[in-house]
Chain A
Amino acid sequence: MNNEPPNTTKTSLKQGVMEAIQKGRIRMRPRWHFVLFSSLATLGVLIMFLAVLYIASLSIFFLHDSGAWFAPRFGGRGWWSLLQSLPWLLITLLIVFICVLQIAVRRYEFVYRRPLLISAAAILAIVFIGGFAIAETPLHRQMEFYAHHNELPPPLSLAYGAPLHMPAPPGIFHGTVLASVPGGFIMNDQNGAGTTTILIGLKTKLPDGGDFEIGDDVVVIGDPVATSTVRAFGVVDVGE
Chain B
Amino acid sequence: MIEESDEAIALRVQGGEVEAFGEFVERYQEKLMRYARKFLLDPDDAKDIVQDIFVKAFQNIQSFDASRRFSPWIYRIAHNEFVNALKRRQAHRTVFTIDFDTLFPHLVADDTADSAALERDTRATLERYLDKIDVKYREPLVLYYLEGMDYKQISEILQIPVSTVGVRLARGRAALQKAAQVV
Contacts and interface: CB of A to CB of B under 8 A. Distances in A.
Interface of A: 1-2, 4, 6, 9-10, 13-14, 16-18, 20-22, 26-31, 33-34, 106-107, 109, 112-118
30 contacts: A1-B43, A2-B43, A2-B44, A2-B47, A4-B47, A9-B33, A9-B47, A13-B29, A13-B47, A14-B22, A16-B51, A17-B21, A17-B54, A17-B55, A18-B22, A21-B58, A26-B59, A27-B59, A29-B60, A29-B62, A29-B63, A34-B60, A107-B159, A115-B103, A115-B104, A115-B106, A115-B161, A115-B164, A116-B103, A116-B104
Contact of A33 (B22, B62, B103): B62
Interface residues on B, range: 35 or more
A1 to B, nearest CB: 7
Contacts of A17: 21-22, 25, 51, 54-55, 58
Given A28-B58, A113-B161, 15 more contacts: A2-B44, A2-B47, A13-B54, A14-B22, A14-B29, A17-B22, A18-B21, A20-B55, A26-B58, A29-B59, A31-B62, A31-B63, A107-B159, A116-B102, A117-B104
Contacts of A18: 19, 21-22, 25
Interface of B: 13-14, 18-19, 21-22, 25-26, 29-30, 33, 43-44, 46-47, 50-51, 54-55, 58-63, 102-106, 155-156, 159-164
A89 to B, nearest CB: 26
B73 to A, nearest CB: 12
Taking chain A's interface residues, is the majority helix, strand, or loop, or is none over half, making it mixed?
Answer: helix
A111 to B, nearest CB: 9
Nearest to A30: B62
Q: Which 7 interchain pairs have the tightest Cβ spacing?
A: A34-B63, A31-B62, A112-B159, A14-B25, A115-B105, A17-B54, A116-B103
Nearest to B60: A29
Contacts of B159: 106-107, 112
A10 B2 CA distance: 24
A114 B47 CA distance: 35
Contacts of A114: 161
A65 to B, nearest CB: 36
B58 A112 contact: no
B130 to A, nearest CB: 17
A27 B46 CA distance: 23
Contacts of B163: 115
A21 B60 CA distance: 13
A21 B55 CA distance: 9
A13 B26 contact: no
Nearest to A109: B156
